[in-house]
Amino acid sequence: MHGRDFLTLRDVSPSELQLLLDRAAQLKAAQAQGTQHRLLKGQSLAMLFEKASLRTRTTFVLGMTQLGGTAIDLMSEHTQIGVREPIPDIARNLERWVDGLMARVFRHTVLNELADSTSIPIINGLSELEHPCQTLADLLTIREKRGELEGCHLAYIGDGFNVCNSLLLGSALTGMHINVATPAGYEPNMDVVDSARRLAKNNGGTLELGFDPVAATKNADVVYTDAWISMGLENEAKNRREVFEGYRVDTKLMAHAKPEAIFMHCLPAHRGDEVSAEVIDGNQSVIFDQAENRLHTQKALLVMLLRGDSAFCEIPT
């Protein structure tokens, strides 16, 4: 993966994804033991933000710092992507200074244009199409809680937006079974669905789409939801709350999953909308484990892209 872009989970193979998760677990264990792992000493990451961020901003800055590198926060008012100067010019400036670029954008086409304009690795920190870094953390969390990913049943309830799209691909790459329930008209991206179906067929997983949250949740190992009103969709808030009313994950819905099922949410969450307080704050919730694992999986990703897998031999086993 050295030198490659990470714009979508379609950019990695099943074996590369498993290796990323293994390396993330290795870095997490090293940190817990107090082992220094300055694998990116002297390297730098620029970060472009069009959208507000807590987890993505913090974990990429902290990740680069813990790895011995430098993260440069380029807030939207300084870059004005595509307004103050063309996207290719931004990319060609940055590649003369930094080793990699993470961008959190409204339009996925911005990521494609950045990638087409520069030779340094471009990382998708979130777009309207996918949130692949979140799915890396989700998969590591599921593996930690369940022991393995292959054969795991994941129910996704709610809006078939970027997080759902990446979960479809992540599940397909790891042989998981994913069942998605959305209101009509809010299904995941069909191009992503087609890719995920092909991957699932090759890796022993399955993918089902439907409109019934109860049917999707039945016997699930994992129940996952996301905000009904994502950034940029605030003008649709009233209508979305009406449309999604039957898709709230509450204790009644969780009762259809396995008794040991875990609840997941990428955050930020809106208690009383997509999830009840009893569920998100209850014993089955692993939302802060997911948030923590953003740090470890992104560190593994950064090392793989900026130095390659051989760098990990520097960590004592």
Write the CATH number for 94. 3.40.50.1370
Among 220, 213, 222, 139, which residue's Cα sits nearest to residue 180? Answer: 213
User: 39: domain range?
Assistant: 9-130+294-314
Close Cβ partners of 7 (under 8 Å, ≥ 6 residues apart): 108, 111, 112, 115, 122, 123, 124, 130, 132
| Domain total of the chain | 2
User: In this structure, is residue 3 part of a structural domain?
Assistant: no
Q: Are residues 167 and 68 in the same domain?
A: no
Q: Are residues 48 and 142 in the same domain?
A: no
The continuous run of DSSP H or E covering 122 comes out as strand 122-126
Q: Is the pLDDT of residue 79 over 70?
A: no
Q: Are residues 96 and 210 in the same domain?
A: no
- What pLDDT is stored for residue 77 in this prediction? 56
Ramachandran sector of residue 168 (left: φ over 0; alpha: ψ -120 to 50; beta: rest)? alpha
User: In this structure, is residue 1 part of a structural domain?
Assistant: no
Q: Are residues 98 and 14 in the same domain?
A: yes
pTM of the model: 0.96
| Residue range 281-302, pLDDT digits in tens | 999 999 999 999 999 999 999 9
Q: Are residues 185 and 51 in the same domain?
A: no
Residues acting as catalytic residues: 104, 131, 134, 226, 266, 294
Q: Are residues 185 and 205 in the same domain?
A: yes
Q: Are residues 167 and 266 in the same domain?
A: yes
Q: Are residues 39 and 177 in the same domain?
A: no
For 251, how many CA atoms within 13 A lie in the half-sphere containing its CB? 5
User: In this structure, is residue 196 part of a structural domain?
Assistant: yes
| Residue range 1-38, pLDDT digits in tens | 999 999 999 999 999 999 999 999 999 999 999 998 99
302 to each of 5, 6, 91, 122, 269, how far by Cα in Å? 11, 10, 18, 10, 27
